[in-house]
Copies of this chain bind each other. A is one copy, B any other.
Amino acid sequence: MSINGTMLIGQQAVSGQQAEIHAVNPSTGERLEPTYMGGGKAEVEQACALAEAAFDTYRETSLEERATFLETIAAEIEAIGDDLIERAMAETGLPRARLEGERGRTCGQLRLFANVVRAGEWLDLRIDPALPERAPMPRADLRQRHIALGPVAVFGASNFPLAFSVAGGDTASALAAGCPVVVKGHSAHPGTSELVGRAVQAAVSQCGLPEGTFSLLFGSGREIGQALVADPRIQAVGFTGSRSGGTALVATAQARPQPIPVYAEMSSINPVFLLPEALAARADTIAEGFAASLNMGAGQFCTNPGLVIARQGPELDAFVAAAGEAVQGSAAQTMLTPGIHDAYAQGVGRLAGHAKVKEVARGQVGETAHPCQAGLFVTQAEAFLNDPALQEEVFGSTALVIACQDAQEMQRVAAELEGQLTITLQMDDGDLDAARQLLPTLERKAGRILANGWPTGVEVCHAMVHGGPYPATSDSRTTSVGSAAIFRFLRPVCYQALPAGLLPEALQDANPLGVSRLVDGQREG
């Protein structure tokens, strides 16, 4: 498979008329071919018209057809072979092993959703049979299923060129729900996006689906993205990126004549609480695990541990010393884009220049064009509580340690946290009571709470919540990773007294799909 520098609108390859987009190899700063000509309103119009035309057919594909389509996408992505890995390496500076792993995750995710589609739990089928003899009023036959919301706009993320991009979690879950998808590819990895887009396009064709089931657009600046979210045919939006970007999309979606949901995963500093017994018993081991998590992928994960909270004292000093040593020794990895590198330098600069923040250590400087020099800083809880700016995410391998006077102050820090994707507890058996005291607050602050692990590494499974209260995401009721992500793109419809010939298959008496249903509130099957 080769790349031509085009957008993909349905089964067509289309060249835009707007500003040029050039991928840059962040390790070398060199420009990568081909040039991508960005699209604008005309291409949004075409892609959305096709998506709308595809919707009623695509959403009523059988469970098996839709599952097979998702599996075909996975197979087509794998069939690209090493070209995909090499292009992604060139466009992102990420190492081969990471990208091979991410490809596995992406294809595994598509196959998970294939199984989710087949199992059909997402249909949330409910039947309340007619009660014609009920007094004083009979009850009509009432049946409920979930249907797809409509065409969905997905924004590729810079930091996962495969798993949160063209055929990533948002696309996989929207397609699984029965929604056509229009992707706005990230300008940092257009070649990777085109390769994956062509895999999806091929799968659409192979499976005999309407061409508008999938399109891929490119465009620099916010105009094309805003036009996409404003298009009346788009019914939901998936986004992973900055708080300002996500907030802008939410504002556009709310300003529409018909507002629509935006699932924006935006910012999180993923606090880690070091509880006293654990800290006393194993400060060094914790510091080692922490530094590894902090440095993974140059810290460019939504779940990077950017905040450490503990009681001050010699145990915390030991942790800070060990973590500082690890940070100091850490090699500088190339960051994803020049823009991310600049923003990182500014964020570290804000910490370094803060009157109440002390630098503990900086990592190695690095020799590539856009290296991430790791950083560890420390401050007092009082300073943290008095300055909301210290909660701002620094995207990259930098963390801030908050030294608290006592357990009460740790509790106050917890209570003042903004919404997070994750909160981690490092704890031993003797910390159980302390953890129990914190837990109710932590549950209100984060979508995932973990003990004695590290927040990086988000398992794609059924129980995962990759979401959390604002500003971690724009909608705390949802997850963007794991099988429950499908629920973001569905809405319930109730059918009252419909003749059997008009009822959707899933709701027919004989249960031809064999999916579990709630009958009079009791689960059957």
How far is B142's CA from A170's CA once the two chains are assembled, in angstroms? 21
Contacts of A427 in B (CB 8 A): 499
User: Considering the chains assembled together, what is the distance between the CA atoms of A435 and B459 in angstroms?
Assistant: 45
With most chain B CB atoms within 10 A of its CB, the pick from A115, A435, A498 is A498
Q: Which residues of B contact A116 (CB under 8 A)?
A: 521
Partner of A459, one of B124, B142, B432, B448: B142
* Chain B residue contacts of A414, Cβ below 8 A: none
Tell me the complex Cα distance, A479–B126, Å: 14
Query: Max chain B CB contacts within 10 Å: which of A127, A429, A450, A516?
Result: A450
Chain A: interface residue total (CB-CB under 8 A):
80
Contact A258 B469 (CB under 8 A): yes
Complex CA–CA separation, A149 to B136 (angstroms): 37
Q: Determine whether the beta carbon of B457 is less than 8 Å from that of A144.
A: no
Query: Is there an interface contact between A496 and B140, defined as CB atoms closer than 8 Å?
Result: no
Q: Which of A1-9, A291-299, A470-478 contacts the other chain?
A: A470-478
B492 & A451 in contact (Cβ 8 Å cutoff): no
| A461 interfacial contact with B, CB 8 Å | yes
A501 at the interface (CB under 8 A from B): yes
Which residue of the partner chain B has the closest CB to A140?
B453
Copies in the complex: 2
Contacting residue for A448 out of B147, B450, B475, B494, CB 8 A: B494
**Which residues in B have their C-beta under 8 angstroms from that of A444?**
150
Known: A463-B127, A477-B491, A502-B435. A496 touches B258 (CB 8 A): no
Residues 323-372 of A contacting B (Cβ, < 8 Å): none
The residues of B that contact A523 with a CB separation of less than 8 Å are 121, 516, 523
Q: A449-B493, A476-B149 are in contact. Are A462 and B128 (CB under 8 A)?
A: yes
A467–B101 Cα distance when bound, in Å, is 42
In the complex, A499 Cα to B478 Cα: how many Å? 25
Partner of A432, one of B436, B501, B516: B501
Instruction: Offer 13 A-B interface pairs, CB within 8 angstroms, sorted by A.
Output: A101-B136, A121-B523, A127-B463, A128-B461, A142-B464, A144-B463, A250-B259, A439-B502, A450-B496, A453-B496, A464-B494, A465-B492, A478-B492
